Chain A
């Protein structure tokens, strides 16, 4: 990993405490508009105002825990990047349905289920990698950029789709949004150092002051939280048993998959921002990030709130400010948890004027969109990928251009066409799966009896690797693997057959010969064992094969042995 020169503090660096504090506050400022989602969900589902306000504080705890979990770089959990956890529009329709059908116990149960689906999907990701290639992550990031940008425009123009209301901002409110955006963009483009780092929060502060001067203050949100809960109050948690409904399993599972894809896109974006040598998504970080994302949704459910997801605007903000240190996540999470005992502070955050929040979202969307385009174009785009990307994007846009048509789609398919994002990503996944037909190429060579002809093996793999566009390091590992196998099996009178098959994600090599099977030990032989006899050398050979290939197996039938070496590509 090579830290790009445009970053002021990279992911592994530890900025001064003041930078962490202000960057954490910037992250919270852009989360602010989404903090109303749990309230809106419960109220839209027929829940009381008291029930809605009660979950605000615990929701802050859920966001704090989720943000910290995502920043961990542990063996099984956390992508290791600065990506805030936030409530998501993706959960809104299904959560409202759950509250309407079974109240908070059903919302709790189904959100818990959804989080579990995402955590279970995480370990399968490596095996399923061909079905989730980088260009689909790029499509996710691009569509997320569009969603965030459109959300920003809705906030500036006063069109609130979530609350199922329509309306328009006044001229001064629109001017407030444009002015705030101009401050952020201006500071980002023409300033350096601290001003560039804090361009988002400076823009928000300028917008807040200007908004207060204009009398634009979200008093409703403020009164529903602070005035009813007080200035300082410990979060109240109510124990309840989870309820489940079979007919909600598919909608919640699809939502979980959509969140997993969005998380994949966000983590891929974070990887690309933090590594100037970035070539392809790093799957372990994505797997652990998905696990953290699913677990965070489960924590949110346990605390009585709604499902959440990685927040794309958070990645956009870190890219814009040049501060991507994972330390910021700890501060962001810590501040969010601390805010949970100050309902008045949470209310103040929720009360930032909508046009100001809209400007911040629009500002971030530009960075997210460009990241998506860069991820897509970083791949060699053949005709398969061209159709996958092009058709998926057009279908996604068609959802918002022709909403009437999609509303008439049968109920069973409604979850798939519930938003342009879900529709575009689902279409990309389906097309990618279809286009995998016929993608695998296979070649075979026969080696005659006699000493191992290494030159022939090297030429065969190097030439084929060149034709396939395979990575040189993977071809080198395969050459080593084949030579090592043939050295151990020795001279075979009937000769040896080598078959290599390749697609963009896998290189598989089969070596068939008449003879005793290869021993592939589970433990590494000691230097003493290796020195002591040629048997020790054979054990080392098997052990090296096990370590150098991503999978290795040896089967025998009718005195014929079949060694299979698999390399992830």
Chain B
């Protein structure tokens, strides 16, 4: 399997739905991520934790998808929280000034302890 291809796997930790994301997120696969997030929103989840620990990098297309999904979640009273931002991925969030646009925690454990 190509290690840079987008990978997504969801699981539950209590009432929190955790979506682990891996690989790169760009214009070629951003729509896949949006579909998955819309699916979780429409399935009635109330808290969604997006774990970026395995993400290599993400482009502007991915940021747009995340912003659109978070906006939709707010309208449906669903909390979307990000964790596992590190290295180049965190740098890109900082460069785009987008850390303030999301609720971000350090590790998955930190996030689950606070949710």
Q: What residues make up the interface of A, taking CB atoms closer than 8 Å to B?
A: 451-452, 454-455, 458, 473, 476-477, 479-480, 483-484, 487-488, 524, 527, 530-531, 534, 536-538, 540-541, 543-544, 547-548
Contacts and interface: CB of A to CB of B under 8 A. Distances in A.
Given A537-B60, A544-B96, A476 B67 contact: no
A488 to B, nearest CB: 8
B67 A531 contact: yes
B88 interface: yes
Nearest to A534: B64
Nearest to B100: A527
Contacts of A541: 59-60
B92 interface: yes
B59 A487 contact: yes
A540 B4 contact: no
Nearest to B2: A455
Contacts of B56: 476
B95 to A, nearest CB: 4
A480 B57 contact: yes
Nearest to A484: B59
Nearest to B96: A544
A455 B4 contact: yes
Interface in B52-72: 56-57, 59-61, 63-64, 67-68, 71
A544 B97 CA distance: 9
Contacts of B71: 531
Nearest to B57: A480
B27 interface: yes
A540 B4 CA distance: 23
B88 A527 contact: no
A326 B75 CA distance: 51
Nearest to B68: A531
Given A452-B27, A455-B2, A544 B61 contact: no
A272 to B, nearest CB: 25
B32 interface: no
B95 A530 contact: no
A153 to B, nearest CB: 50
Contact of A451 (B4, B28, B57): B28
A527 B92 CA distance: 15
B96 A537 contact: no
B110 interface: no
A454 B24 contact: yes
B98 interface: yes
Given A483-B57, A483-B59, 19 more contacts: A454-B24, A454-B28, A473-B88, A476-B57, A480-B57, A483-B24, A487-B26, A487-B61, A524-B96, A527-B101, A531-B71, A536-B64, A537-B61, A537-B64, A540-B63, A540-B64, A540-B96, A541-B59, A544-B92
Nearest to A488: B60
A479 B59 CA distance: 11
B63 A454 contact: no
A541 B26 CA distance: 11
Contacts of A454: 4, 24, 26, 28
B96 A543 contact: yes
Contacts of B63: 530, 537, 540
Contacts of A531: 64, 67-68, 71
B27 to A, nearest CB: 4
Contacts of A483: 24, 26, 57, 59
Contacts of A487: 26-27, 59-61
A543 B59 CA distance: 11
A540 B63 CA distance: 9
Contacts of B87: 473
Interface in B68-104: 68, 71, 87-88, 91-92, 95-98, 101
A479 B24 CA distance: 11
Contacts of B68: 531
Contact of B64 (A455, A479, A524, A530): A530
Given A454-B28, A487-B27, A530 B67 contact: yes
A544 B60 contact: yes
A439 B67 CA distance: 45
A214 to B, nearest CB: 63
Contacts of A544: 59-60, 92, 95-96
Which interface residue of A476, A524, A537, A543 has the most chain B CB atoms within 10 A?
A537
A451 B59 CA distance: 15
Contacts of B61: 487, 537
B104 to A, nearest CB: 14
A452 B28 contact: yes
Contacts of B95: 543-544, 547-548
20 contacts: A454-B4, A454-B26, A455-B2, A455-B4, A476-B56, A479-B57, A480-B88, A480-B92, A483-B26, A488-B60, A524-B96, A524-B97, A527-B98, A530-B63, A531-B64, A537-B61, A537-B63, A537-B64, A540-B60, A544-B60
Contacts of A451: 28
A534 B92 CA distance: 19
A458 B98 CA distance: 25
A257 B1 CA distance: 56
A534 B67 CA distance: 13
A485 to B, nearest CB: 10
A454 B61 CA distance: 14
Nearest to A524: B97
B60 to A, nearest CB: 4
